[in-house]
C-alpha cells in the first residue's frame, strides 16, 4: 500500500492488521487529556466525522482532526451513544508537524 508524498501519512509506517489488512500507523498519541477548549460530543444516529467537522469547524475536510483526537477506536467502529472529543478550532487548524 504505497502512500503518496502529498499524504499527511507520508513517512509513517504501513502496518498490517490480520482482520482489516494494511493501514498506515497513526501519529503518536497526543498528550494526556483533551486540548483546552475541547468539547465532548455524543454521537446521535448515523453522524459521521465529516458532518461533525462541518458542524464544529465549518469545514468538512477537518474530519481527520476529530479522528486523531480520538485514537482509542477506529472511526468505523463508533456507534450512536459513543462520546467523542472535539478539539477546538485553533487546535484543528494547528500544523501537524
Query: Binning pLDDT at 50, 70 and 90, where does residue 57 land?
Result: very high
Better-predicted residue by pLDDT, 71 or 24: 71
Please give, one letter per residue, the 3-state secondary structure of the chain: CCCCCCCCCCCCCEEEECCCEEEECCCCCCCCCCCCCCEEEECCCCCCHHHHHHHHHCCHHHHHHHHHHCCCCCHHHCCCCCEEEECCHHHHCCCCC
Better-predicted residue by pLDDT, 96 or 10: 10
Residue 35's pLDDT is what?
A: 79
What is the rounded CA–CA span in Å between residue 17 and residue 33?
A: 27
Please name the residue that has the C-alpha cell 478539539: 87
- Quote the percentage of the chain above a pLDDT of 70: 63
Residue 26 scores a pLDDT above 60: no
Residue 41 scores a pLDDT above 90: yes
Indicate the domain borders of the chain. Answer: 1-30, 31-92
Domain 31-92, CATH among 3.10.350.10, 3.90.79.10, 3.40.50.11540, 3.30.930.10 = 3.10.350.10
Q: What is the mean pLDDT of the chain?
A: 79
What is the rounded CA–CA span in Å between residue 12 and residue 7?
A: 10
Count of Cβ atoms closer than 10 Å to residue 57 Cβ: 19
Residue 36's pLDDT is what?
A: 85
Please name the residue that has the C-alpha cell 468538512: 60
Amino acid at each position: 500500500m504505497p502512500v503518496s508524498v502529498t499524504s499527511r501519512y507520508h513517512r509513517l509506517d504501513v502496518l498490517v492488521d490480520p482482520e482489516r489488512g494494511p493501514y498506515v500507523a497513526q501519529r503518536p498519541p497526543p498528550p494526556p487529556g483533551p486540548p483546552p477548549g475541547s468539547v465532548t460530543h455524543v454521537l446521535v444516529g448515523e453522524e459521521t466525522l465529516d458532518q461533525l467537522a462541518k458542524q464544529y469547524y465549518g469545514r468538512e475536510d477537518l474530519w481527520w482532526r476529530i479522528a486523531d483526537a480520538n485514537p482509542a477506536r477506529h472511526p468505523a467502529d463508533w456507534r450512536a451513544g459513543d462520546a467523542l472529543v472535539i478539539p477546538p478550532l485553533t487546535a484543528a487548524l494547528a500544523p501537524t508537524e
